[in-house]
Chain A
Amino acid sequence: MSFRIVSELSALTVDWDEKADTPGVYLAFDTSDNVYYPAICSLADKSSKIFLIKDPVQGLQTLKQQELQYVVTGGVVQDCALLVLQTTGSFGGY
């Protein structure tokens, strides 16, 4: 059984309960409700850069293609990893 990841995520739960300290990993949604994963890449002679990828497995390999340095990455990518982002609490608000 091989599911597309987006269809897999459609059966998952969005933390949406007005509490900022709710655990959950933040993913990126566009206005068409496509889901993307943040990924971070270390670059040679540059600081790390953060991208969005569609497929958490294939996208990491795509970012390491050296052809993309003129289009997306802007440098020689050494390695990439998914960037798991969470929140730990509020820093104030209304």
Chain B
Amino acid sequence: MDPRDCSNHRLPGAKNNLPQKPDDDKPEKPDTTEDPETTTPSTPPTDTGSSSPGEEDPANPDNGESTSPEGTDPAPEDDGSSQPSQGSEPNDDPSSESNGSDAPAEEDVQERRWYQRGVNETVMSNTTMTSRPVSNSTATPSNSTDGADFGDLGDYDDSYFDDDDTTVDPDVLDGIAQSLNGTEEADEKAAGVEYVALIDSTGGWVLANFDDGNFFLAPATEAADWTFASDENILVGDGNDLTFFYYPDEMDILGVSRWRLNDEQHVPKTADFITMAPISEFPHRFRIVSADRRLG
């Protein structure tokens, strides 16, 4: 069986015995894709300057058909075009970037009952993570895509990237190069790089990746084929040239994101790198949620 054939690798149990929820009540999403075009007034204020309605205003009293034989025909039209001149300033629609930011921000605090941990435990400080060889100095994520519009994410493409996104910022490439120079073979030997597989909570599946960058779950018997480089338990990729990344613009707006593993040629400009690190102490509810959803 081809391990990259994803058709057989379904989530165990999730498809079969979980009741298919008909549809959640969908929260009103700011459907701003067609709003800005339809709301703009369609009268271009082009030829209002040629009207010069000043001298023709006395020419047309309330009934314009009897007074003047020929000059009054353009007069009511020019008067009519003079009022919608106020339609010139709402052409720049100001509401396109403001209303998209409220999509995933709701907090349901009633389900949020995490057990408070003692503060004397080992604090995962910022220096712990950023001092790692690869996550260090991989240039700042391009969070500049603050269009905050639902439509800015583009249509879903089942391939892992768009052709327009393949150009990587030179600063990012420099950061990658510097990072890789820090993890040369000698450094890897000193650091003790090992290759591990990521096994799910059932023990039957391991995290695996397609060539296009998507992940799937392969049978755990193929664990040796689906390994990631572990530098002191910190994973940055497959140890060769594939790195984890995600889409911060999706995460900022929706709270969810696609998750990919690919080489630097296929990391979009809008992406940010992902480092996988193990957490040994968990809030109690995390285990409860994961256990009954996976096993129940």
User: Quick one: given A31-B135, A89-B196, are A42 and B14 in contact (CB under 8 Å)?
Assistant: yes
User: Quick one: given A9-B124, A11-B123, A23-B280, are A30 and B256 in contact (CB under 8 Å)?
Assistant: no
Flag if A61 contacts B193 (CB, 8 Å).
Answer: no
Nearest B-chain residue to A18, judged by Cβ: B232
Shortest Cβ distance from residue A2 to the other chain B in the assembled complex, whole angstroms? 4
Residues 192-211 (chain B) with a chain A CB within 8 angstroms: 192-201, 207
Nearest B-chain residue to A55, judged by Cβ: B255
Contact flags A44-56 to B (C-beta < 8 A → 1, else 0): 0001111111111
Flag if B217 contacts A65 (CB, 8 Å).
Answer: no
CA distance A48 to B16 in the complex (A): 13
Counting chain A residues whose Cβ lies within 8 A of the other chain, the interface size class is 35 or more
Residues 217-241 (chain B) with a chain A CB within 8 angstroms: 217, 223-224, 227, 229-230, 232-235
B140 CB within 8 Å of chain A: yes
CA distance A47 to B244 in the complex (A): 20
Residues 71-118 (chain B) with a chain A CB within 8 angstroms: 104, 106-109, 111-114, 116-118
Shortest Cβ distance from residue B225 to the other chain A in the assembled complex, whole angstroms? 9
Stretch at the interface among B22-30, B34-42, B49-57, B161-169: B22-30
Flag if B256 contacts A14 (CB, 8 Å).
Answer: no
User: Quick one: given A26-B198, A74-B156, are A36 and B246 in contact (CB under 8 Å)?
Assistant: yes
Shortest Cβ distance from residue B193 to the other chain A in the assembled complex, whole angstroms? 5
CA distance A12 to B251 in the complex (A): 23
Interface residues on chain B, number (Cβ under 8 Å)? 101
Flag if B155 contacts A11 (CB, 8 Å).
Answer: no
Nearest A-chain residue to B255, judged by Cβ: A54
Contact of A70 among B113, B155, B257, B272 (CB under 8 A): B155
Contact of B129 among A20, A33, A55 (CB under 8 A): A33
Flag if B233 contacts A20 (CB, 8 Å).
Answer: yes
CA distance A57 to B216 in the complex (A): 22
Nearest B-chain residue to A10, judged by Cβ: B124
Contact of A69 among B156, B207, B278 (CB under 8 A): B156
B1 CB within 8 Å of chain A: no
Flag if B18 contacts A79 (CB, 8 Å).
Answer: yes
Contact of B104 among A58, A66, A69 (CB under 8 A): A58
User: Quick one: given A5-B114, A91-B195, are A10 and B123 in contact (CB under 8 Å)?
Assistant: yes
- B223 — which chain A residues lie within 8 A by C-beta? 88, 91
Flag if A31 contacts B251 (CB, 8 Å).
Answer: no
Nearest A-chain residue to B282, judged by Cβ: A25
Flag if A72 contacts B114 (CB, 8 Å).
Answer: no
CA distance A81 to B129 in the complex (A): 27
CA distance A30 to B135 in the complex (A): 8
- Chain B interface residues (CB < 8 Å from chain A): 6-7, 9-11, 14-15, 18, 20-21, 23-24, 26-27, 29, 104, 106-109, 111-114, 116-119, 121-124, 126, 128-130, 135, 138, 140-141, 150, 153-156, 158, 185, 188-189, 192-201, 207, 214-217, 223-224, 227, 229-230, 232-235, 244, 246, 248, 250-251, 254-259, 272-283, 286, 289-290, 293-294
List the 10 closest A-B pairs by CB distance, nearest first.
Answer: A24-B278, A93-B194, A47-B6, A84-B201, A90-B194, A85-B198, A50-B215, A87-B196, A15-B278, A81-B293
Can you spell out 5 A-B residue pairs with CB atoms less than 8 angstroms apart?
Answer: A26-B279, A62-B104, A70-B156, A91-B223, A92-B195
Apart from A86-B198, A91-B195, A91-B197, list 15 A-B contacts with CB within 8 A: A12-B280, A13-B121, A17-B233, A18-B192, A24-B280, A26-B198, A29-B274, A51-B259, A68-B256, A71-B254, A86-B199, A87-B196, A87-B230, A91-B223, A94-B194
